[in-house]
Amino acid sequence: MKERSSKTTLLILGVFTLSIMVACSSNDPEPAESVDGYVATPQPLTVPPIFQRLLPPPTIPADNPQTVEGIALGRKLFYDPILSGNGTQACASCHNPSNAFTDENQFSLGIDGLEGTRNSMPIYNMAWNTDSKFFWDGRATSVEQQALEPVTNPIEMHNTWENAVGSLQNTNLYPELFNKAFGTKTITKELTAKAIAQFERTLISANSPFDQYLLGENSLTPQEINGFAIFMDESRGDCFHCHGNEFNPLWTDNIFHNNGLDAAITDKGLGNITGDPSQDGWFKSPSLRNLAYTAPYMHDGRFATLDEVINHYSEGLVYSETIDPLMKAVSRGGVQLTEPDKADLKAFLLSLSDPSFIDNPNFQDPN
Amino acid sequence: MKKIILLFAIAVVAFGCKSDDDNNNVPTNAAIAFKFTQNWNGAEVTPSNFNTGVYENEAGNFVSISKLRYLISRIVLHKEDGTSVAFEGYNLIDLADASSLNFNPSTPATTGDYTGISFVYGFNEQDNSSGAYLDLNAADWNWPSMLGGGYHFMQMDGTFDDTNGAPQPYNFHNGTARVSEGVFEQNFITFDFEQNFSITDDATIEIKMDISEWYKNPLTWDLNERSVDLMMDYIAQKDMNRNGKSVFSIGAITQ
**What pTM, to 2 d.p., does this model score?**
0.89
- Rounded to the nearest 10°, the torsion over CA A312, A317, A318, A323 is 120
Instruction: Please tell me the predicted confidence (pLDDT) of residue B222.
Output: 98
pLDDT at A28: 37
Do residues A347 and A234 both lie within one domain? yes
Q: Is the pLDDT of residue A10 over 80?
A: no
Q: Considering the domain boundaries, does residue A178 fall inside one?
A: yes
CA-to-CA distance for B39 and B46, rounded, in angstroms? Answer: 8
Q: Is residue A6 part of a domain?
A: no
- Yes or no, beta carbons of B140 and A248 under 8 Å apart: yes
Distance from CA of A328 to the nearest CA of B (A): 5
**pLDDT tens figures, A95-136:** 999 999 999 999 999 999 999 999 999 999 999 998 899 999
A34: confidence class by pLDDT, cuts 50, 70, 90: low
Whether residue A172 lies within 8 A of chain B, CB to CB, comes out as no
Q: What's the pLDDT tens digit per position in A203-217?
A: 999 999 999 999 999
Domain check: are A54 and A169 in the same one? yes
For residues A79 and A92, is the Cβ–Cβ distance under 8 A? yes
In a domain, B99, yes or no: yes
Distance separating alpha carbons of residues A337 and A333, to the nearest angstrom: 11
Residue A95, domain extent: 49-204
Q: Please give the pLDDT value at position A35.
A: 61
Q: Using an 8 Å Cβ cutoff, are A22 and A178 in contact? A: no
Q: Is residue A106 part of a domain?
A: yes
pLDDT at A99: 98
Chain A contact for B154 (CB, 8 A cutoff): no
* CA–CA gap between residue B147 and residue B232 (Å, rounded): 6
Interface test with B, best of A1, A233, A234 (most B CBs within 10 A): A234
Q: What is d(CA A37, CA B197) in angstroms, rounded to the nearest whole number?
A: 54
pLDDT at A31 over 50: no
Total tally of structural domains belonging to chain B: 1
CB contact under 8 A, A5 and B1: yes
Asked if the structure places residue A34 within a domain, the reply is no
Flag whether residue A234 sits within 8 Å of chain B, measured between CB atoms.
Answer: yes
Locate the chain B residue with the closest alpha carbon to A252.
Answer: B140
Quick one: average pLDDT of A174-202? 98
The helix-helix angle for A161-169 and A189-201 (nearest 10°) equals: 80
Chain A residues with CB under 8 Å of B53 CB are none
Please answer yes or no on whether B51 and A5 come within 8 Å at the CB atom.
no
For position B129, what pLDDT does the model report? 98
Domain match, A300 and A329 both = yes
Q: Is the pLDDT at A27 greater than 80, yes or no?
A: no
Mark which of A178, A204, A230 sits at the end of a domain.
A204
- Residue A156 DSSP label: T
Q: Which domain holds residue B67?
A: 28-254
- Residues (pLDDT < 50) of chain B are 1-23
Q: What is the pLDDT of residue B51?
A: 82
Residue A238's closest CA among A329, A331, A332?
A: A329
Question: Do A238 and A343 reside in the same domain of the chain?
Answer: yes
**Chain A contact present for B168, CB below 8 A:** yes
State whether residue A19 sits within 8 Å of chain B by CB.
Answer: yes
For A22, nearest residue in chain B (alpha carbons): B13
- Asked whether the predicted pLDDT for residue A335 surpasses 60, the reply is yes
User: CA nearest B159 in A: which residue?
Assistant: A325
Say what percent of chain A tops pLDDT 90.
88
Q: What's the confidence (pLDDT) of residue B48? A: 83
SS (H, E, C) B193-216: EEEEEEECCCEEEEEEEEHHHHHC
Averaged pLDDT score across all residues of chain A: 92
Q: How many CB pairs under 8 A join A and B?
A: 111
- Given B6, B67, B138, which is nearest A130 (Cβ)? B138
B38, B48 in Cβ contact below 8 A? Answer: no
Residue B60 near chain A (CB below 8 Å):
no
Note whether A196 and A143 are same-domain residues: yes
List the 103-122 stretch of B: residues with Cβ below 8 A of A.
none
Q: Are residues A213 and A191 in the same domain?
A: no
Asked whether residue A161 falls in the same domain as residue A215, the answer is no
- The tally of domains found in chain A comes to 2
Q: Which residues of B touch A9 (CB under 8 A)?
A: 1-2, 5
Which DSSP category does A280 fall into?
Answer: T
- pLDDT at position A7 is 43
Q: Identify the closest residue of chain A to B10 by CA–CA distance.
A: A16
Per-residue pLDDT of B40-75, as tens digits, reads: 999 999 988 888 889 999 999 999 999 999 999 999
Please say if the pLDDT value at position A282 is more than 90.
yes
Give the end of a domain, one of A180, A204, A228: A204
B16 within a domain of the structure (yes/no): no
Opening angle at CA B54, ends B48 and B58, nearest 5: 125
| A12 pLDDT higher than 80 | no
